Amino acid sequence: MARAPHDVPSPDPSLPTVSGLVVVDKPAGWTSHDVVARMRRLAGTRKVGHAGTLDPMATGVLVVGVEKATRLLTWVVGQDKTYETTLRLGQATVTDDAEGELVAVAEPADVEALTDEAVTAAVARLTGALQQVPAKVSAIKVDGRRAYAQVRAGQDVELAARPVTVSAFDVHRITRTHDDAGRPVLDVEATVSCSTGTYVRALARDLGEALGVGGHLTALRRTRVGALTLEHASTLDELAADVAAGRPLPVTTLERAAAGLFPVRRLTAAEAGDLADGRRIGPSAGDPAEGPLDNEAVTAGLAPDGRLVALLRDRGERGARTAKPVLVFLPGERFPETPGPPAERGQDR
């Protein structure tokens, strides 16, 4: 059971405010906003955000940014993700998961006739580059209103298909069982790795539709966002225990987070100073004589002392390339050529 707000400890005021990413193992029943609200109290700052919403029924990796690390969240959101999931075949719901009301129940004979081979063949067709229609009960806006609000108001919502990539859809177990009303169903346990924007609920729906029996999600646990996994995660109770004991929150520092997201460029003191002032420097990837120019690739620029100065993108035509700062973390800073000890920024996990 979650603690009441007055029972949540606040950080020791003698400790510096941490800045970095905190990987939270989100509990079931909590919204992502609930987790952010709790983290604001534990971190002692309002400057907290999250990267990638998890539905209340889902658990697992929720990446939370504190202080300056909130500026990295846009890039964290875009990382591929991995989920452990259970999909139920034989029933469809309005939300495409177990939270919604049943809208269709397959004939028992149709469910019982499904073979494991038919299920795995349909799963294979939902792997790779797909055009996916998102779940209707979602935060996507249609005509300026959230889709879930329109569905709950009884309106019919049509969402456009979006390109997504399901890089892995591995079935581990297919269990033939019955729901609480004694109706036959198939529970499919699987691991799904996918691009940002993929709805695992929609995969359950589409798998059920492909097999002619309907489907929805009954369990979802996110185990990875980019390079951050459950091994890096702490529960809210563990984080509260750290704070109550006077310890700083365990964070992945800006530098380590950026190094896990992007290629790293070691800067000279002069380059770091130019970037801190918003000026361009020489290109990060060189100036290729031939081949396509990648104007979207992002590089993390680290100062001689190891601090994250800026995120960079190469710009310009062949023969005149420069690296432009797209996000500066240390504006106006000056850097010695000889690296000194990095600033204290809390525990790094």
Is the CA virtual torsion 6, 9, 13, 17 positive or negative? Answer: negative
pLDDT for position 188? 98
**pLDDT confidence of residue 15:** 83
pLDDT of residue 26: 97
Which residue matches tokens 């079931």? 28
Q: Which of 240, 330, 253, 306 is nearest to 19 (CA)?
A: 253
Mind telling me the catalytic residues? 55
Q: pTM of the full predicted structure?
A: 0.88
Q: Name residue, tokens 């420097």.
A: 281
pLDDT of residue 346: 43
Residues of the chain with pLDDT under 70: 1-6, 137-155, 157, 286-295, 338-349
Tokens 């109706």 sit on residue:
183
Residue holding tokens 């990648």?
Answer: 294
Contact 222, 25 (CB under 8 A): no
Q: Where are the beta strands (DSSP E) in the chain?
A: 20-26, 48-51, 59-66, 81-89, 91-93, 102-105, 128-132, 141-142, 145-146, 162-178, 184-194, 215-225, 228-229, 252-253, 264-266, 298-302, 308-315, 322-328
Q: What is the pLDDT of residue 43?
A: 94
